[in-house]
Amino acid sequence: MAVDTTTAAPSHPEGDEGGEEAVRPLLSGAPAEVEDEELDIRYAPYARRDAYGPMGRGPLSAAQVARLVLAGVVLLPLRLVAGVLLVVAYYLVCRVCTLFVGGVGEGRPRLQGLRREAVLRAGRVLSRAMLFVFGFYWIPVSDRSFPNSRDVPKDHYEELERPGAIVSNHVSYVDILYHMSASSPSFVAKNSVSKLPLIGLISKCLGCIFVQRESKCSDSKGVSGAVTERLHEVSQDENSPMILLFPEGTTTNGDYLLPFKTGAFLARAPLQPVILRYPYRRFSPAWDSMDGARHVFLLLCQFANYIEVVRLPVYYPSEQEKQDPRVYANNVRKLLATEGNLVLSNLGLAEKRVYHAALNGNSPRALHQKDD
């Protein structure tokens, strides 16, 4: 059952009056242990509760340190080499399939027929191989992808509009690998991704939408418009890959669901909801409050990692939801929270940054000055 958390975003009074209160250290004068507990309560969706603690810097026993050193010497190099080889293999597939094909420089190669099929099949196989290399040996999937018989007659299944996007909660960068292994969708990525060695061509072949994120001069309507246009394209062309969207806009610790952005719902197209959960014993694959390098290191040093997947029925919006994207987004969010036993939270990316700044010993004022 979905539960609304009472955690509220920190207030930031406007104007000079009360300004000192707004930038005061979050828990000034409190003991370190109490301060950490208060932070974890206030910013619960981003609090790390595994054996490695906040930021992955928690105290470890001698046995844990020895185990980590052994894995770092033996397991880590093998997985890194295997991972790089898989990426190179997929790049070579994409390179061969884009020979003498137009559109590569424009960001979306016009792949058709066997070329497109080869890219998609190779992507699914190699992504699953990458997950295996990362320790995700078995992935249980609960598939309930057919419409409810009470809502749609069985003889009308073939007449239903194809879902334009996969909508999923966002827990880790591993999310993308799973979805690639399951359905080879395209996704929204920063412009800089298209210029990365190896990954750039792969993302273009997948049909990614490249955007300039967090740019003060960017046109948010342009980004939403591009997503909406792609969703319409997918619903009308069965050869166009679905787009993968994470409406929360950032990752959590996997126990919460943040407010949804409405960009995925403006097209009024059916959506495929998917819930991802990451059970763990020592290290949580959730990428919540840890820097990327440390997280990858600990992930690859853990022999076995776990992921559970629930594919919900395709969500067909009602007339009311088609008229109001906010209602559509909120209803899908509640469905994911209920079916995934996730807690609804009102926090967002801004609060996540404040939490990270506090863990690093910075004040909210320093964070805002850095952003400016």
Residues 6+ apart with CB under 8 A from 30: 38
**Residue 8, SS3 per DSSP:** coil
The answer to whether the beta carbons of residues 284 and 171 sit under 8 Å apart is no
* Model confidence at 220: pLDDT above 70: no
**Residue 227, SS3 per DSSP:** helix
Strand locations in the chain, DSSP E?
A: 3-4, 141-143, 165-168, 186-190, 209-211, 243-245, 256-257, 271-277, 308-311, 343-344
* Model confidence at 7: pLDDT above 60: no
Query: CA-based Rg of the chain, rounded to a whole angstrom?
Result: 22
d(CA 228, CA 219): 14
Tokens representing 100? 């003498």
pLDDT of residue 152: 52
Q: How many CB atoms lie within 10 A of CB 215?
A: 11
d(CA 308, CA 370): 38
d(CA 208, CA 236): 18
Q: What is the DSSP string of 148-213?
A: PTTTS-GGGGGGSPPP-EEEE----THHHHHHHHHH--EEEEEGGGGGSTTHHHHHHHTTPEEE-T
* Model confidence at 6: pLDDT above 60: no
* Model confidence at 12: pLDDT above 60: no
Class of residue 106 by CB neighbours under 10 A (exposed 0-12, middle 13-18, buried 19+) = exposed
Residues 6+ apart with CB under 8 A from 102: 109, 110
Q: Categorize the per-residue pLDDT at 214 as very low, low, confident or very high, splitting at 50, 70 and 90.
A: low
d(CA 239, CA 186): 12
Class of residue 83 by CB neighbours under 10 A (exposed 0-12, middle 13-18, buried 19+) = middle
pLDDT of residue 363: 57
Which helix (H) or strand (E) segment holds residue 80: the answer is helix 62-97
The ranges assigned to domains in the chain are 60-152+159-371
Tokens representing 232? 């319409």
pLDDT of residue 20: 36
* Model confidence at 4: pLDDT above 70: no
Q: Mean pLDDT score of the chain, rounded to an integer?
A: 81
Tens-digit pLDDT profile for residues 309-359: 999 999 999 999 999 999 999 999 999 999 999 999 999 888 999 888 888
pLDDT of residue 189: 81
Q: Categorize the per-residue pLDDT at 216 as very low, low, confident or very high, splitting at 50, 70 and 90.
A: very low
Q: What is the mean pLDDT of residues 80-87?
A: 96
**Residue 259, SS3 per DSSP:** coil
Q: Which of 30-39, 96-105, 186-195, 272-281 has the highest mean pLDDT?
A: 272-281
Tens-digit pLDDT profile for residues 13-38: 334 443 333 333 444 444 455 466 78
The model carries a pTM of 0.81
**Any idea what DSSP says for residue 315?**
B
CA-angle at 181, arms to 176 and 183, nearest 5°: 90
Q: What is the mean pLDDT of residues 65-71?
A: 92
